[in-house]
Amino acid sequence: MNGWKLVYDAWDPQAEPLREALCTVGNGYFATRGAAAESRADATHYPGTYIAGCYNRLQTEISGRTIENESLVNAPNWLTLGFRIEGGDWFDIDAVEVLSYHQELDLAQGILLRSLRFRDPSGRHTRIEQHRLASMAAPHLGAQLVLIRAEDWSGAIEVCSALNGCVVNAGVARYRDLNHHHLAPLTADTGADGSQLLEMETNQSHIRIALAATTRLWRNGSLVEVEPDCRREDGYVAHHYRLEIEPAQPLRIEKISALYTSRDRAISAPGLEARKAVADAAPFSRLAERHALVWQQLWQHFDFDLEHETAGTGERTERILRLHLFHLLQTTSPHVMDLDVGVPARGLHGEAYRGHIFWDELFVFPLFNLRMPEITRALLRYRYRRLGEARRAARAAGCRGAMFPWQSGSNGREESQRLHLNPESGNWIPDNSHLQRHINAAVAYNTWQYYQATRDVEFLSFYGAEMILEIARFWAGVATYNNQRKRYEILGVMGPDEHHDSYPGAEQPGLDNNAYTNLMAVWVLSRALELWDILPGQRLTELCQSLDLSREELTHWDEVSRSMYIPFHGKGIISQFDGYETLEEFDWEGYRKRYGDIQRLDRILEAEEDTPNRYQVSKQADVLMLFYLFSSEELSELFERLDYPFEYETIPRNIDYYMQRTSHGSTLSRVVHSWVLARSNRPGCWPLFMEALESDVADIQGGTTQEGIHTGAMAGTVDLVQRCFTGIETRGNVLWLNPSLPEGLKSLNLKIRYRGHQLALHMTPTHLRISTEPSAEQPISIGIRTAVHQLNPGEMRQFELQRDG
Ligand code: BGC
C-alpha cells in the first residue's frame, strides 16, 4: 500500500486471483474483477463481471438429490482487448518474459492501472499500459485505455476487441460440480458506426443483458481509420484491427462499454440503451475526469483522519481502511438508491456464497447510517419489497408474521443451500444454516438504527414499522411457554456460530434458547411496542387494521418481552445456548499443532468423522454479539426488563470465556471481539483490530478473498474507528459519545451525519470537540458519557474527557 493506492510491483501468477478481487472496479450497478484485459478464465485469471441484483437459478443432481441454487450471474465480459505481433501468438503474460510490472488501484480516482514491459519469445521488447474504470458518474459505462509501445521493433500488430458472453460461473472451485451455465445467446452484432452489441439472457430468470462497445485506435496521436474484421459467434462478437507500428508511433486504444439489463428503469430495451450510451460516450480522459470528480465527492463524505503517537506507524492502517471504504462504495454506491439490491456478503467481487445477502448488512449499515443514510434506506427497501415472501416463509413454517431468509437473492426466497461440499473431505453434507432465524432480528435492528440516526419518520411509517411489527409477531409466535421455568423459550434454531447446528447425536437439527436470538427477540418486541411513542396515531391505527393487530396481541408481546428465558452458567456467564457448557472442552493446543490453521474447525472435524457440535467451540462471536450491538446501558435495561441480574463486571468474564473458545472461522468474528475488547481491555483490542484489518488485503483465511471481499469485515473495521473508538451510539433520540481511543492513537477526525446535521468530530485521549454546520435543522441532543447536552446548528462544543485507564 502506498499513499491512496494499492500497489503491486511484480507479476505473481499465484497471487493473481487475490489481486483480481482486490483490484475490482465497480460503481454499485456493476463491478468487474481486476483481471487483465487480455485474459480468459483459467487457473490464474478470472475476469468476472457482476451486475447488482442479477440472479439466476439452476438445478443440479448431487448425491441422488436435485438441488436448486440461485447465483449472482457472471455477466458477459466487456474487457477483452488483446493483441499479437506479426501474426504470432496472442499476448499472454504467462508466455513472455516480464521485465517490469506495476499495478495500482488508485483509491482517490477510482482507476486501475497496470503497466508492464516484456520480451517476447522472438526477443522483441514491448511496453503496455492499461487503465480501467467503472464509471461512478455514469453507472452503465466501463472504460479502458490501453497504450502499446514497440521498443525495438516495427511491424504488424493485430488488436482484438471483443464482447464475450460465452462465460459461466466458475469462480469458486467447490461449486464446480453444480450447473453453472446461466446465459443464453440472443444477439451478437456490429453497428454501422463500428460499435458492437451483444445480448444474452439468463436462462431461468430471463433477465436480458445488453453490452455494447466502441473501440478507437490512435497511432502517434492520430485516429487510425482501419476497417476491422468482424467475427461473430453465438454469444461472442469481436473486431480485429490490423495496423503497423514502430517505436516512434505508440498505439493508443480506447474501448468504451455500456451495460444495461431488462431490470433497469427508464429504458425502452436494454440493447437500444447500451448502443445509445456508447454512441454518446465521451472519450476516456473526459470519462475519467467525471468519474474522479464523483469519487472526490464521495471521499468528502466518507474519509477520516487518524493521527498516531509515533509518526508514520498508522499509514498502512489508514490505507487499508480506505481500501475497505472504496470496495464498500463500489458494492453499494449512491447508485443503489435507484436499484432494487441488497448488500451481497462478498461484494460484487467474486462468486462466493453466490452473491447472496445475509445478516452481514448488520455490520455495514451503521457505517452508512452516519455518512450517507440514503444508501441504507435504499438497501432496507430491498428487504421491505421482500416482506411478502418473508410472510409466506413464516406461514409455510407454521409461524406468524415475517421470517426473512438466512440467504436472500432475487425475490427473497430462502436461498441457503441444503447440502454443501467440505473441500477437506470431499463430502456433501447437510447444511442447516437456514435455521439462523436471528437474521430476522437483524432486519428489525437495522431498520431501527437507521431511524435513530436519521429520524426518518416517513420511512419508518410506510416501510420500517411494518417490518418491525411483522418480525415482532414472528418472535412472539415462536416463543413457547415453559411451565417449569415460568419463562418463554425459543427452540430449534441456530445462533450466529455456525459450528453448532444440533445437539450431539440428535436426530433433528436446531438448538434451544440461543441467548443471542432470545435477547434479540426481546429487543425487537420492546422496540415494536415503542413504535406507539413515535408514529402518528392515525398511522398506527392503519397498521393495526391492515396487520390485524389486536390489543391482546400487543399485551402478549409485552409479556414475552418481559419473561424470555436466557441461559446462564457459572458466575454470570451467558450460555451460548442451553447446555453449551456441558459440551466437551476442545483440545485447542493439539489441533493447532496438528493443523496450524484451525479457523475452519467444522471442515477439519467433519473430515475426521467428528463434529464441532460435541465441543465448546465457536466459529465466531455469538454471545459476544450482544456486547457488540448493545452498550452496557442498553443491555442492563434489557436484563432489567427480563428481571435477570446484570452486572457490568460480568462483561469481561463473558468475553474471556468465549475468547478462549472461538476459532474466528468467520471474518466477522475478529471485528466483534476487537470491538468488545475496546471497551473492557483497551490494549487487547488492537491486535484483533489489526488482524480484522488484514482479513482481505492479506487474505488471512488463505484463499477466500479471491472469491469475493468480505463486506461485513470491511465495514466493521471502518466502523470500529467510526463508532467504537468514539463510543457513538444513536439511542433514545440522543447521539451518545463515549470516546476511548486505543493506545497509540493521538487523535481522530471524522465527519458524520446525524438527523440532518453535518457534524465534525475531533478527538484526542483527553478532549472531544464537536461542531455542527449551520442549518435550519432542530437542535440535537448529544450525550457525553452520562450527561446530555443540546447542540444547535452552527455551534461548536468542547468537552474534557477523563481517561479511564
Ligand atoms: C458466517 C456468517 C456470514 C456468512 C456470509 C459465514 O461464514 O458464519 O455469519 O453471514 O459467512 O459472510
Residue 645 has pLDDT above 60, yes or no: yes
| pLDDT for the residue 250 | 95
**In sequence order, which residues have a C-beta less than 8 Å from that of residue 365 and are 6 or more positions away?**
376, 379, 380, 446, 449, 450
Range with the poorest average pLDDT among 312-316, 463-467, 599-603, 765-769: 312-316
**Per-residue model confidence as pLDDT tens digits over 252-303:** 999 999 999 999 999 999 999 999 999 999 999 999 999 999 999 999 999 9
pTM more than 0.85 = yes
Could you say which of 104, 199, 489, 498 is catalytic?
A: 498
All structural domains of the chain: 5-300 (2.70.98.40), 725-805 (2.60.420.10)
The C-alpha atoms of residue 156 and residue 162 are separated, in whole angstroms, by 20
The SS3 of residue 103 is strand
CA of 658 to the centre of ligand 1 (A): 18
pLDDT tier for residue 226 given thresholds of 50, 70 and 90: very high
Mark whether 227 is an active-site residue.
no
Judged against a pLDDT cut of 70, whether residue 520 lies above it is answered with yes
**Rounded Cα gap, residues 512 and 503, in angstroms:** 9
pLDDT digit string, tens, across residues 57-80: 999 998 888 999 999 999 999 999
Q: Given this model, what pLDDT does residue 785 score?
A: 82
Between CA 547 and CA 562 the distance in angstroms is: 23
Instruction: Please count the other Cβ atoms lying within 10 Å of the Cβ belonging to residue 193.
Output: 9
Which residue CA neighbors atom 1 of ligand 1 most closely?
666
**Which protein residue's CA is at the shortest distance from atom 11 of ligand 1?**
666
Residue 805 has pLDDT above 80, yes or no: no
* pLDDT confidence of residue 803: 57
Region 206-227 average pLDDT: 96
Mean pLDDT (the chain) is: 96
Q: What percent of the chain is modeled with pLDDT above 70?
A: 99
Q: Collect all residues with Cβ–Cβ distance below 8 Å to 260 and sequence separation of at least 6.
A: 140, 209, 210, 267, 270, 271, 273, 274, 277
The three three-digit cell numbers of residue 545, written as one number: 387494521
Q: Give per-residue pLDDT as tens, 498-519.
A: 999 999 999 999 999 999 999 9
- In the reported structure, the alpha carbon of residue 695 is separated from the centroid of ligand 1 by a whole-number distance in angstroms of 14
CB 415 within 8 A of CB 70: yes
Taking residues 397-417, report their average pLDDT.
Answer: 98
Q: Are strands 65-74 and 49-62 parallel, antiparallel or unpaired?
A: antiparallel
Ligand 1: atom nearest CA of 356 is 5
Grid cell in block for residue 461: 411509517
Q: Which residues line ligand 1 (CB under 6 A)?
A: 345, 353, 358-360, 496, 498, 619-620, 666, 668, 712
Per-residue pLDDT at 1: 45
